[in-house]
Structure 1
Amino acid sequence: MKNDLKHKLHPKWESFCQRFHLPAHPRILVVGLERTGRSVCRLLAQFEVEIIGTDLAGPDRLDPELSTLPPHQVRFELGKHHSETFTAVDCIFVSPGVPLNLELFQGPRQLGVPILNDIELSAHLFGGSIVAITGSNGKTTATQLIGEILQTQDHGCTIAGNIGKPVLDSAFLNYNHNHDLVLEVSSFQLEAIRFFKPCIAVLLNLTPDHLDRYSSLEAYYQSKFLLFKNQNSQDWAVLNQDDQWIKAHSSALKSRLVWFSRTQPVPYGVWLHDDWVVTNMTPSEQRLFSVRSFKLPGRHNHENLLAAVAVGLIKGIAGPIMESVSAQFSGLPHRFEQIATFKDRVFINDSKATNVGAVVAALAGHKTPVHLIMGGRNKGGNFDPLVKIVKEKVVHLYLIGEASQEIASTVSGSIPFTECPSLDSAVELAYKNSNPGESIILSPGCASFDMFKNFEDRGNHFKTIVSSLMVTEKNHAENFSL
């Protein structure tokens, strides 16, 4: 399989080298050796290239993962970056977490060294059509749902990208010219694209995020719009009509516009009316199916569904098929995931909510009183938009991590809150304070890196705490009855 894949891809690799003016056997630097960086190394190892991988993390943390890479083709520089290496290569591939404004990149830019990323390479090597999804919130859920809808087609579909499956590990397992690639992309990835051009590009929403990396909110929003920069009149842009910034800037796009809305009819696209998905993308306006069979709660998930239906209609998928897929779709871990019901209290893991907009969207669609656990590392966001929604929905707020005092100062006087030393203590106190019929929700609105490895680690720890609490309470009840 590997040799066959190499044989199929080699002409495209040669074309890639020609397009970026690289020598036949280039020397390539991969910056950042987490999942994405390692996938770049694995793919490039199939060609006659010299690969250098660099990461600020030391070998003590990276060695187990790096042992999966071919040692005779990849040389590692760990623990620090060497500036002389950056100017002694023909091409640089950057992982999403590495800022492109690092001083280390100034020398290569002056020398004309291309600074690229994995999705740029995938666009050149992949033979099928690309559907790319971005947005501040809901990207992974929408990407998965779109992928499952398109997987009903005979020619197949692969789901990859920022969803946790690096595109260069995933897309080429089923390499053919008819295959669809459904790709979640982040603003960080979009910063480094040159020719990347999806045939369908989806922008779900825009809310403040990553302001620790961007100079302004406008700069962050503009980075999302890079998804459309290489599209033409033969391509499609799927856009949220309820987002005012997106609507105001849509006239600059060259692609065909398809809109979705949770609140109103659209010029061309899909919308909700009386819990029905309605479209005018068919010869006459048509009700497709009711959203009552869709399991995922909240207005943000209805928007994800509408975006997925719009893509399905572009691809010619019938309404009954999309209704069946959406009815069976149960969502993904750490995205408003109901993990337990105990003593008439619902525990929800929304660890993926790493910005304020995600918290607001989650709470807006929730109907029972909430004990909310928030906090972590602020990404430069403003917590002011929380005040109105927490006054409406939240009984008590439990704050953890580096941002706890900042959130506390924002909500002070609006709602009772407690600053907690750990997630464990926050869950225990929330359970103690709660009443039957209420929900205990982890929706941090912050990054996890002050206390956890990533949002998955945070969400899994929350699940462990809840499981242990339930066991302890059951044992206590049994002992009391004796």
Structure 2
Amino acid sequence: MSQKILVAGSGKSGVAASRLILKTGDEVILYDSNDAIKKDELLNQFKGEGAIRVLLGELRKEDIKEVDLCIISPGISLDAPFVSVLKEADIPIWSEIQLAYHHARGKLAAITGTNGKTTTTALTGEIMKAYYDHVFVVGNIGIPYTEEALKTTEDSVTVAEISSFQLETITDFKPNVSAILNITPDHLNRHKTMDCYIKVKESITQNQGEQECCILNYDDPVLREFGKTIKPKVVYFSSRGKLEEGYCMEGDLIVFNHLGKRQEIVSTGDLKLLGRHNHENVMAAVAISMEMGVPLDIIKKVICEFKAVEHRIEFVAEKAGVKYYNDSKGTNPDAAIQAIKAMPGPTIVIAGGYDKNSEYDEWIESFEGKVRYMVLLGQTREKIAECAARHGFTNVMYAEDMQEAVSVCASYANSGDYVLLSPACASWGMFRCYEERGDIFKECVRNL
């Protein structure tokens, strides 16, 4: 007997979830609280795909009388008014990744953390593709897991980038290998407290047992302690000190120490990725791949050939002796700190955007001796400027749009300087997404 499933959110994730549900023979009610959306345009995306109706605006009790399950898109907060209507009716709420997992087959590696997820997921995916025949790279990286779930087989491998939003409503989601790269303050406008944010990130392991594995950052004190409390096998990595067991740095070498044996993985000089944070991403990807059964010689080849992910400390161009880097994916202060550390010389930073209730003190402190000027955009520009002033950094300018910001940087930069777009903020308000922000930055640079 078919189920009637409410899909909340009509964006990319909601559409992909709806398509999966229709393919499995169930009915879909596609719901969005935005009553300005045109029903006909939504329905046209599903012509001939099955029983679907669109519901917009306020969700009422009578709308969900026959609903068996709700799939909620990651961009929707569990504090949204319609969620309380669902809870009162005792309707289960699943995340999009939970729905995908319910229908998927094969092995799964799932990667979360505040920063580095996209690079680690992309790199791990490339390693898997070099060894396995059927590999799917999905999740927060851009392709909804639900879009690929029904294509998986018992022999396939899926690598998924998982956000805290997606983890809020999992039930039996259980990766073969999970990884938590780091946890620093982010999305506190949604999760409210750090304790809540940490617990959501750690929930990626909640269904794992002794047969599964979790990769953790030993340098993160929260994760180091967490590793002592969980059921799955724990493998640590560290960029700051030697580990008797795990992946770590010895000078410029990444090594693996296990059961008294030392194995050299790679010299960081042979990598195309810049910065210590990227060396951590490489260690995490290597650890995941080893646990997923990929031979070391294949891993070594891929990690040495892999280039930076688009929008993550991505080299754009050199103009008049000035090198421009796009780090639009740096949407929180900690990510922006890592980008500044990766710049080899004097830097002008473009920053600012949507306010996620972040604090900027540590980021401003990381400017010392490297950042010459900062050009600010968006909602947070006054907040960031005030924070900078408290720390004695006053070389701050405002810009109304990205074109003006890039022009200001070009006029103030000297030959040998670096211009870095690393906003420390989300893109919303001025741009649809961080990708659009990065693309516009790159276009402005190329037009100089």
Where on the TM-score scale, by shorter chain, does this alignment land: which range? Answer: over 0.9
- In 2, Cα distance between equivalents of 1:62 and 1:461: 31
Which deviates further from its counterpart, 264-273 or 334-343?
264-273
Alignment of 1:35-434 (within 5 A): 35-58=12-35, 67-70=44-47, 73-82=51-60, 84-86=62-64, 88-173=66-151, 175-281=152-258, 284-412=261-389, 413-434=392-413
- In 2, Cα distance between equivalents of 1:445 and 1:104: 31
Alignment correspondent of 2:440? 461
C-alpha spacing 1:276/1:282, structure 2 compared with 1 (3 Å): farther
Alignment correspondent of 2:429? 450
- In 2, Cα distance between equivalents of 1:365 and 1:301: 9
Structure exhibiting the larger radius of gyration computed from Cα positions:
1
Task: Summarize deviations over 1:9-58 as a string: whole Å, max 9, x none.
Answer: xxxxxxxxxxxxxxx22111000011111011111111332211111345
Which deviates further from its counterpart, 296-305 or 317-326?
317-326
Task: Summarize deviations over 1:77-97 as a string: whole Å, max 9, x none.
Answer: 235544542454111000000
- In 1, Cα distance between equivalents of 2:386 and 2:284: 37
- In 2, Cα distance between equivalents of 1:119 and 1:47: 16
Letter in 1 for 2:3: P
SS at match of 2:109: strand
Could you tell me whether the CA contact under 8 Å between 1:279 and 1:288 is conserved in 2?
yes
Could you tell me whether the CA contact under 8 Å between 1:288 and 1:320 is conserved in 2?
no
Alignment correspondent of 1:20? none
Which deviates further from its counterpart, 346-355 or 62-71?
62-71
- The root-mean-square deviation of aligned C-alpha atoms, in Å, is 1.8
Letter in 2 for 1:98: I
| Identity rate, percent | 33
Task: Summarize deviations over 1:97-151 as a string: whole Å, max 9, x none.
Answer: 0111323222322332110022112222111011000010110110010111112
- In 1, Cα distance between equivalents of 2:348 and 2:39: 38
- In structure 2, the gaps of 5 or more residues are none
Could you tell me whether the CA contact under 8 Å between 1:87 and 1:108 is conserved in 2?
no
The alignment's TM-score, normalised by the length of structure 1, stands at: 0.89
Task: Summarize deviations over 1:205-262 as a string: whole Å, max 9, x none.
Answer: 1111001111211111111001011111111010000111111222221110000111
Which deviates further from its counterpart, 110-119 or 459-468?
110-119
Which deviates further from its counterpart, 190-199 or 116-125?
116-125
Q: CA deviation at 1:329?
A: 0.8
Alignment correspondent of 1:439? 418
Which deviates further from its counterpart, 267-276 or 364-373?
267-276
- In structure 1, the gaps of 5 or more residues are 1-23, 470-482
- In 1, Cα distance between equivalents of 2:384 and 2:245: 41
Could you tell me whether the CA contact under 8 Å between 1:129 and 1:199 is conserved in 2?
yes
- In 1, Cα distance between equivalents of 2:83 and 2:64: 7
Alignment correspondent of 1:4? none
Letter in 2 for 1:416: N
Aligned length: 445
- In 1, Cα distance between equivalents of 2:124 and 2:159: 7
Alignment correspondent of 1:12? none
C-alpha spacing 1:214/1:278, structure 2 compared with 1 (3 Å): same
Q: CA deviation at 1:466?
A: 1.1
